Structure 1
Amino acid sequence: MSECSHDCSSCSQNCSSRQNPQDFHEAPHKLSSIKKVIGVVSGKGGVGKSMTSALMAVEMRRRGYGVGILDADITGPSIPKLFGIHGRAMGDENGIWPIESRMGIDVMSINLLLEHEEDPVVWRGPVIAGAVKQFWQDVIWKDVDFLFVDMPPGTGDVPLTVFQTLPVDGIIVVASPQELVSMIVGKAVKMAQMMNIPILGVVENMSYVECPDCGKQIKVFGESHVDEVAAKYNIPVLAKCPIDPKLAECADQGLIEVYGGQYLNAAADAVQALLK
């Protein structure tokens, strides 16, 4: 048998590096105290991802936890509007301080740094990703048990930056009932799997409308496909949320914290279990 002609030690080192990929996670601000980071993701826009992020934060705050929301949707920020926050985030020699909502939820969004909240953010991908890193490294998140990261839709620069930079403890995938959801959810799930991010489950929004007269559930977008999709990827369905005019009214008025719907209790349970 002929002797091996290549550098086996080099091969061993390369194989080892592939099995143990380099950790690119960045440390948060030195004054921050964050226990768990939860990403809220979607494969496409318009499925209620920001609403889910806000309602999850409100529910965890009601349970007595310290909560923050990092609005990573830089070009389409809506978290401040949902909470009725219109001020400017301030900084000092220590760093940038998030703005507190009425319930005491810490919020940081690009809209809290712009001169006018209607101003568009016309930035290229790397600059947007850099802003998200700054929200993690330069913002002081004090006494936060759960930091929810409201991510932009898709699998582009910002989700990649979040997954690589932040120590994400789990993600919630948000979807809608259409048959297209199979492909969309699949993209989000496979990206999370590639990045070794645990998937807590999927939340379906706009599942139905409840008739105010008879209580019948009307499937506006047709029959749901979320159960079969979740089974395909072996992830739980955490909620099927209806189209609720009361929720829309609260959101429009910046009063998301007074909405009384309990549709996300199972999702909140899954998040709460991360501390046990």
Structure 2
Amino acid sequence: MAARKDIDGSASVPALYGAELRYQREAAGRTLQETVEGSFYGVSLLSEIERGTRRMPLDLARHVDQLLSTDGFFERRCEDVRRAKRSGHAEYFERVLEAERHARTIEQWSPTLIPGLLQTEAYVRALFKAERPLEAREETDAKVHARLARAELFGADRTAPEYWVVLHEVLLRQTVVPPDRMAEQLDHIAALMRSDRIFTQVLPWNAGAHPLMLGNAMILDFSDAPPLVYVESQHHGSTLDDPALVKRYQRSYDLLRAAALPPEASLALIEQAAEDFRNGKYENRLERGSLA
């Protein structure tokens, strides 16, 4: 049996929360398995919450409070943990930020921009500055660094989730940053594909009618928790966990994937687009002078 690791509650708010959870559970004479019985969650999730590495779902917090007779403590303190974990990210994104680090699979459709997990620094910064051109540099820097940190998911020293993304072909031609930076962005995606870190398919611009035409979607599946769907607009995002609705999104994504080019053809298209940017095929609107 592996040695039981002590929890340093002074390390962070999530660690303090987890340490208190373990204390209350053990004081009540409950095992991890006994504590999750009657909930929709697994032992591994609860164990990681106790170690301060995962957030406590609200429904699980209520379950634990009732089981351990802790008078609503864990439900009340959930918000403290969420605030501590979402630094640099929008409040509505907090559940996904936690979930994607522990997902078994992530499936994403991005019709209007390259998704955050794949963005380079130049691309991220351009998006933030376009939305908030007068924002202080240090505030933008914090957001940029927070988003780039999400890509540590694909680090070679860890087991990453299976990540499958479908990109619209328009994204391969859209000059969000200067051409050399667009080439860098596409090279980054191609490198992840070639190193077998991600699966990418491109939906051709002339594919016609297809599923999920009305917006983006991220579908996350777990080994120890129910699946989630995340959808987002400019200033708002929603996490959906209704089983019937999640299944509908999963089916739509499967149909979309069937309409897209296979990974090998998609990789060739991405690499060709990167070369086109390097060779000046696309006009650099970002450096073009005024027409006045």
Asked if Structure 1 and Structure 2 have the same fold, meaning a TM-score greater than 0.5 normalized by the shorter chain, the answer is no
Normalized per residue, the structure richer in strand is 1
Higher relative contact order (CA 8 A, sep 6+): 1
TM-score (norm 1): 0.28
The structure with more radius of gyration: 2
TM-score (norm 2): 0.27
